[in-house]
Structure 1
Amino acid sequence: MFGAICGDTIGSTYEFDNTKDYGFELFPKGSSYTDDSVMTLAVAKWLLTDAEHTHGVLEKCMVELAEEYPCPVGGYGGMFREWLFRPRALNGRNGSPVDGKRHPYGSWGNGSAMRASACGWFFDTLEETERVAGISASITHDHPEGIKGAQATAAATYLARIGKKKDKIKEYITSRYGYDLERSYEFLNRTYEWDSSCQGTVPEAIIAFLESDDFEDAIRKAVSMGGDSDTLACITGGIAEAYYKVIPNHIAASVWSLLPEGLREIVLAVSEKTSYGRVFSI
């Protein structure tokens, strides 16, 4: 899960200033965690505290962390910001009640996938991993593509964590979710453009992992595709960490130094509660 935060932080300065240069600077001035990390940790906090995996507790975790960190780099996306801070503005959307409460709003955006990596660490079966990842998405992103993106991200993380080889991960994600994973990094580096949808982000992020040689290589491939760089690298980083079992210390230490104490505490709590362990040293 910390790998997702590392990817998010490295991609943060390139989200609105895309690069196709594989050799980009890892931590230029302004590098920081973004809303992707905050919401990843909100899901992690939910998994730590709610054995029933309810929408009510997840909403509480997401809103509380958003209120504590209201202005991360990149900011919260338009409708999601409304859901967090002005839920009445979304009432009536997709037939939801007009009651001032928070309701899902039919999104297929990649926000559901970028926050799902923690789901890959908490469960003993693939089925439970996918089920809970679906819940984590559906509180806001209840469009089938939004749910699929979160489930595919969590499933790839789980399969990587339990030691499945890349060909088996690719085979499962392709057959289960129908994503096209046959394109190459070289092709995407030339042709890929900004896309904030799950269906236009998750497959590309998984390809960056599948074609990588190590954790840093995976992140460099994800960011240098261009597009929604922090989210691409967040998704890639969560899977790559689970697979390679190590984050290079020059990356881990730099990211750790940028996290507020409250967010660090959630990372450490996950490492104590799950098989996650400490895959980085500070």
Structure 2
Amino acid sequence: MLGAIAGDVIGSIYERNNVKFTDFPLFSGHCRFTDDTVLTAAVAEVLLEGGAGSHEAYVDKFHEWFHVYPDAGFGGTFFDWARSRNRLPYGSWGNGSAMRVSPIGYAFETLEEVLAEAKISAEVTHDHPEGIKGAQAIAAAVFLARQGTSKAAIKSEIIERFSYDLAPTLDEIRPHYRFYVSCQGSVPQAITAFLESENFEDAVRKAISIGGDSDTIACMAGSIAEAFYGGVPGPIAERTRKHLDTRLRTVVEEFQATFTGN
């Protein structure tokens, strides 16, 4: 999950100031964690506390973490949902379901378990089929990556199972890509950034380089890259942790110790 958080922190300054190239500063004094990080930590805490399989556990945890970090940059519909402590989903197809799902890719031993849990974590808010599919696709990619699956096999599995078009290259996507908050408009692009990457840092840089919802695309690509490349490089991990408060760092450390052995 630290890979997802690193992508979020690095991408945070480019979300509203898009770049269309990869040669940009990874960190600056303006970097921060956003709602992507907060809700990724919330999912991790559900799993740490034994709440897997429970819609109620996810609702409770999303409400709890929102009220700790109400200014993290949540989308308007989620903000209203969490602020009012609504317990019913709101039919979203947005990428919020996919940005937060990466811990699930580590917490189970079969792909079917991962897909089932990703669905549960998504549908408490994002119960539109595209919202569920986006979360499942990212969780599946993380799971397959940590299992040592090749990029070619990951690509084939995602295409076959979710019918995403992964044919366009980043060079083809980049010139015309704009800000999409939908899963269908950002999840395939994030997966493509990972597939074209040479290492973790390259995956994050490539994800940000297409523009659009930069922190979330980098969050999703970073989560898969961490699993595939065996972690987040030390200097990037250290800089990322410096942007987190004690509560967030504690969850990251507990999750890593419990589910990744690090």
The whole-number CA distance in structure 2 between the counterparts of 1:51 and 1:60 is: 10
**Distance in 2 between residues matched to 1:52 and 1:17, nearest whole Å:** 37
- Measured after TM superposition, the shift of residue 192 of structure 1 is 1.3
Aligned to 1:58: 58
| Structure 1 position 86 matched with structure 2 position 66 | no
Q: Which TM-score applies when normalising by structure 2? A: 0.98
1:141, distance to aligned residue in structure 2 (A): 0.2
Residue by residue, what CA displacement relative to the aligned partner does 1:72-117 show, whole Å, maximum 9, x if unpaired?
2xx1101000110025xxxxxxxxxxxxx42000000000000010
* CA deviation after TM superposition for structure 1 residue 253, in Å: 0.8
Residue 29 of structure 1: how far off its partner (Å): 2.7
| Partner Cα separation in structure 2 for residue 67 and residue 206 of structure 1 | 31
Q: Is the 8 A contact 2:52 2:117 kept in 1?
A: no
Structure 2 residue aligned with 1:44: 44
Compute the RMSD of aligned alpha carbons: 1.0
Q: Does 1:10 align with 2:10?
A: yes
| Contiguous gaps of at least 5 residues in structure 2 | none
The residue type equivalent to 2:206 in the other structure is K
Further displaced range: 55-64 or 257-266: 55-64
Amino acid in structure 2 at the alignment position of 1:32: R
Q: Residue 32 of structure 2 aligns to which amino acid in structure 1? A: S
CA distance in 2, matches of 1:51, 1:84: 19
Q: Give, in angstroms, the shift of residue 64 of structure 1.
A: 1.2
Q: SS of 2:138's equivalent? A: helix
Percent identity between matched residues is: 50
Shift of 1:188: 1.7
CA contact (8 A) 2:51 2:57 kept: no
The answer to whether the Cα contact below 8 Å between 2:141 and 2:154 also exists between their aligned partners in 1 is yes
TM-score by length of 1: 0.91
Mapped partners of 1:220, 1:160: distance in 2? 19
Q: Does structure 1 residue 211 correspond to structure 2 residue 196? A: yes
Give the C-alpha shift of residue 52 in structure 1: 4.6
Mapping 1:199-278, distance limit 5 Å: 199-274=184-259, 276-278=260-262
CA contact (8 A) 1:104 1:139 kept: yes
CA distance in 1, matches of 2:189, 2:68: 31
